[in-house]
Amino acid sequence: MRERATKAMAIREYLARHKKLATLVAIGLVGLFTVGMVVRARSAGPQYITAPVRRGDVTAVVQATGTINPLTTVPVGSYVSGTVKYIFADFNSRVGAGQVLAQLDPAIYEAQVIQARGNLANAQANVRNLEASVVAMEAAIQTNQANLARLQAAAAYARTNAARVADLSKQGILAEDQNDMVQSTLAQADAQVRAAQAQLNQSRAQLNQIKAQLQQVRAQVEVQTGVLMQAETNLQYTTIVSPIDGTVVARNITVGQSVAASLQAPNVFTIAQDLKRMQVYAKTDESDTGQIKIGTDVTFQVDAFPTEVFHGRVSAIRLNAYTVQNVVTYDTVIDFENAAEKLLPGETAYVTIPTGHASDTLKIPSATLRYTPELPRPELQALYTRYNIPTAATTSHMGGWQVVWKLGSGKQPEPVAVKVGITDYSFTQLREGNLKEGDVLVTGQTETRTAGQTQGQSPVAPRFGGPRR
């Protein structure tokens, strides 16, 4: 006890002798406490994620996936039905135009050819028979015409003689009986003339009938000629040949298989004309087609060669649209050389199509265009009004105007209206706006643990979204 009292007395004597020093220490402790509270209060507010305005190049691209296809692919079908008897080509076979690929059993088509030839020969014989009948009938008509002329001459003589006898009979020189006999002879002559005329008309009618039959038989000859040509053509179709020079990429038949071509021609082979020149059909979104230009150099990669980059050129944007789950896409055709034939038909290509380039330009992080402070809407509108932000920058973005947030001198974000250009999705070209190289822009924010949080709680996750409502 005595020792404790002695120590207390010593401390009081020390403080009495150093009173000014004790006062300064107390003031310093209070100041440190105050600064600590301020720092702690500030650390409880939002912490901003920032990135500077830079100068450099910006290249805008469209990325899409597509399928590699040969420049020309020809499906080879079978026009006739039959059983596959021989196959002379297989997968990856190189074939030439006119080369035999397969053979169907031709027996039934050979029989049809023989039958068609017989029917044609029969029709041709009928033609020759009727042609002979025409000649014979024309000769008979000439005979009937000569006979008619003879009878007409005889009738003319009988008419003259009858007139003469009638005059003599009126004069009483000849007897009435003789006159009657002459008149009867005249009537017989006229009847013979009419009979010969009728026979001549009948012969002419028969000639016309034979000629009509001849025309019908000649038409049958043409029909049978067509039937024979069809039968011979069907026989030729039993031999399946390649229409082009190329490579067989698909074979859909085997020996002994029945090929039915009753409804449509079945596809038995698929031939790619040239695997050294190929195309990529890239599915591009409708919003990107307006930026893609014909002749643009593009790059693409495939899973088979993940470390290699291949080059091509846009040759067309096809007008046929595809709609899948309300997403509209178009085929962008990209031509490329495949000299080593490394790339195969059907492979998936990951295509990058440049749509614009800006060199040595101011560029801002694209993330800053998506950031808006976590403030109530009235406060945001007040800030927009204070910094003269146009309505188009905050709503419709017409003309490329948007809003970014610059970290001001008070370490608080300030809105800035900017007009942007092309983008590569990481950076966006700055065309107009009150920004310069090195300005710090806000791309997001986080909130640290506040005094009310218990030890061990994690800070609030970063926020990159719009204003609170």
Query: Are 217 and 162 members of one domain?
Result: yes
8 Å CB contact between 271 and 94: no
- CATH number of the structural domain spanning residue 389: 2.40.420.20
Q: How far apart are CA 227 and CA 245, in angstroms?
A: 32
Verify that 126 and 82 share a domain, yes or no. no
pLDDT at position 34 is: 59
Share of the chain residues as helix, strand and coil, in percent rounded to the nearest 5: 40, 35, 25
End residue of a domain, out of 270, 293, 315: 270
Residue 292 belongs to a domain: no
pLDDT band at 458 (very low <50, low <70, confident <90, very high): very low
pLDDT band for 166, please (50, 70, 90 cuts): confident
Report, as an integer, the average pLDDT of 58-87: 93
Q: Average pLDDT, stretch 171-197?
A: 82
The predicted-structure confidence for 410-435, as pLDDT tens digits, reads as follows 788 889 999 999 888 889 999 998 89
Distance CA 357, CA 321 (A): 28
| Closest-CA residue to 265 (of 39, 444, 104) | 104
Q: What is the mean pLDDT of residues 63-69?
A: 95
Evaluate whether residue 10 is within a structural domain. yes
Tell whether 314 is covered by a domain.
no
Is 224 a member of any domain? yes
Structure tokens at 425: 């999705």
Longest dimension (CA), the chain: 218
330-388 confidence digits (pLDDT tens): 999 999 999 999 999 999 999 999 999 899 999 999 999 999 888 888 888 988 998 89
Comparing 460 with 347, which gets the higher pLDDT?
347
Average pLDDT, integer, range 445-463: 50
pLDDT at 167: 79
**pLDDT score for 183:** 81
221 and 244 in a single domain? The answer is no
354: in domain = no
What's the per-residue H, E or C state across 352-399? EEEEEEEEEEEEEEHHHHHCCCCCEHHHHHHHHHHCCCCHHHHCCCHH
Structure confidence at residue 261 as a pLDDT band (50, 70, 90): confident
Conformation bin of residue 326: beta by default, left when phi > 0, alpha when psi is -120 to 50: left
The verdict on 203 and 263 lying in the same domain is no
**pTM assigned to the model:** 0.62
Indicate the angle between helix axes 19-43 and 2-17, nearest 10 degrees: 90
Domain of 426, in residue numbers: 46-57+361-463
Q: What is the mean pLDDT of residues 148-154?
A: 89
Which are the contacts of 229, defined by CB distance < 8 A and separation ≥ 6?
none
Please tell me the distance from the alpha carbon of residue 6 to that of residue 3, in angstroms, as a whole number: 5
pLDDT of 288 over the 80 cut: yes
* The most confident of 42-46, 214-218, 257-261, by mean pLDDT: 214-218
- What is the total count of domains within the chain? 4
